[in-house]
Amino acid sequence: MVAASDSGGPWPGGTGVGGVSEAAARGGDRHAAVTAVHTWLAGCRAPIGPGEVARFPFAPVLRHYRAVGRAYAGDELTALLRTVHSRLSGGGRARLAWPLPDWLPSTADQAGGGYDGYLAVPLLDSPAGADLPPHRAAADLLRALSADLLGLEVRALGLGPGRVQRQRARACLGVLARLRDVPLPPPSADEDLADLAATWIAETAETIAPRVRVVTELSLLPMTPLHDEQMFVRCLQLFETLYRRIGDALAAARDALVSLAVERARVLVADAARLLALSPPLYRVVTTMPPEVFAVIRAHTDGRSAIQSRGFRRIETLCGGSLQEAALRAGERLGGVATARLCADLARLDEAWCAMKRTHWGITVKIIGMVPGTGGTTGAEYLRRAAAVPLFPALSARPLEVPA
């Protein structure tokens, strides 16, 4: 059990599903983190630049945050990290000091922070650059986050409730299997599952760009010391990265349709549908969270809700607006089999998107019941209504038949 003086406990006994994290079981060291940041800050020039950032003591800060939770990191440490951030912002060299400017806000937004801060979305968005295109960065990030999630749960085998922990570890393996485009092997003993996971994790690590590895390491900053919250944060980060890739594919499909490149648009819509197929395995991981544990997490994340997801809203706005308009105009100008098949592709994507929203609704009912949502919505009732709203309302009203 984590010491109450460090983490505001008491917290559940045990490690893994329903208990605390591995880091919490080891315990935090606030003094070590504070001392390390003080020492680093004292040796920095003004303004802070890349050389200083390379020496920033990320490791002791991360160890403490993961052991006690962001909400219990301590006023002295969070105030110190705010000071670092203000010095970066005031120095005019934030762009050169990556990743600190994108990471620091999430270390100090315990009160009043939003959904983006909770998931470190600015950091997740940051790997792309001149040597790493956005598409490659997002693809790498999906694999890196999935491998890290799998490692988190496999390491907990034998520590949490046996059946549930095994079920969750296997569900995490299913997420990575989907990304690797390979079938999920049949159930096996814990040792075999762990061996396969270790192999897949190692193979995945070889393909990940260095900046993405940094983002993956720094972006896990839960509010509590609970193991389930680390899983939950990783799953939400995966959803956000997935939404970004889907949104990018659909924006490119719209642009292709404006140019009347219908077959190119169909390829991009198929890419979006393939990415969306990752959502069922992810939801299988989330459903292993005990409702009583989620209640604790929810109490520490009030005001932060998936309803605030910019990536999700971007997809719905794009599809219900400029993408369906481009599809209708292409159909009017070109007609024929190609545009009819495009609309059939969009209809299948619409069906899969609504199915995903129905799954979200069902999980919400299972885990939190019919209580109000954290983002000011009616919770499960809001999700039930939202699940019935199509992505392409105009296309739903004017279906195009595919000729025989």
Q: What is the pLDDT of residues 102-153, one digit of tens each?
A: 999 999 888 778 999 999 999 999 887 767 888 899 999 999 999 999 999 9
Q: What is the pLDDT of residues 291-318, one digit of tens each?
A: 899 889 988 987 787 778 999 999 999 9
Listing DSSP states for 194-252 in one string gives: HHHHHHHHHHHHTTS-HHHHHHHHHT---SSSBHHHHHHHHHHHHHHHHHHHHHHHHHH
pLDDT of 55 reads 93
Contact indicator for 349, 272 with CB cutoff of 8 Å: yes
Q: Helix count (H) and strand count (E) of the chain?
A: 22, 0
Percentage of the chain exceeding pLDDT 70 = 89
The packing angle between helices 75-91 and 58-68, to 10°, is 140
Q: Which two tokens stand for residue 174?
A: 């299913």
Q: Compute the distance between CA of residue 353 and CA of residue 319 in angstroms, rounded to an integer.
A: 11
Closest Cα to residue 20, out of 7, 2, 4, 38? 2
DSSP 181: T
Q: Name the stretches of the chain with pLDDT < 50.
A: 1-5, 91-93, 375-378, 399-404
**C-alpha dihedral sign at 89, 95, 98, 103:** positive
